[in-house]
C-alpha cells in the first residue's frame, strides 16, 4: 500500500512538473526533463512490485 501511495505522489508530481515547466521563465528544459524522469521512475517502481502481472512467471498466456 505504501508503494502505491509513493507511486501516486511521484506520478502526479511529475505531471505537475511537466505542466509547470511551460510557465517558467528559466530552466524550462531542466524542469520538463525532471518531470519526465519522475513519471518514468514512478511507473518503473510500480511495475517492479511483487504480484504484478508484468512478471514473466505470472503472465496471461502462461507460456513460460
Going from N- to C-terminal start, the domains of the chain cover: 2-48
- Looking at residue 7, its pLDDT comes to 92
* Cell 511537466 sits on residue: 18
Contacts of 1 (CB under 8 A, 6+ apart): none
What was the pLDDT predicted at 60?
A: 58
The set of long-range contacts for 2-7, using a CB threshold of 8 Å and a minimum separation of 24, is 3/45, 3/46, 3/49, 4/46, 6/42, 6/45, 7/42, 7/43, 7/45, 7/46
Predicted local confidence at residue 22, as pLDDT: 94
Q: What is the pTM of this model?
A: 0.73
Question: What's the pLDDT score for residue 55?
Answer: 54
How confident is the chain (64 residues) per 10-residue block, as mean pLDDT?
A: 89 96 94 97 84 56 55
State residue 1's pLDDT score: 78
Amino acid at each position: 500500500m505504501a508503494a502505491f501511495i509513493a507511486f501516486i505522489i511521484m506520478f502526479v508530481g511529475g505531471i505537475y512538473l511537466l505542466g509547470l515547466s511551460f510557465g517558467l521563465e528559466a530552466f524550462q528544459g531542466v524542469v520538463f526533463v525532471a518531470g519526465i524522469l519522475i513519471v518514468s521512475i514512478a511507473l518503473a517502481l510500480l511495475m517492479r512490485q511483487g504480484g504484478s502481472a508484468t512478471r514473466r512467471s505470472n503472465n496471461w498466456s502462461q507460456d513460460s
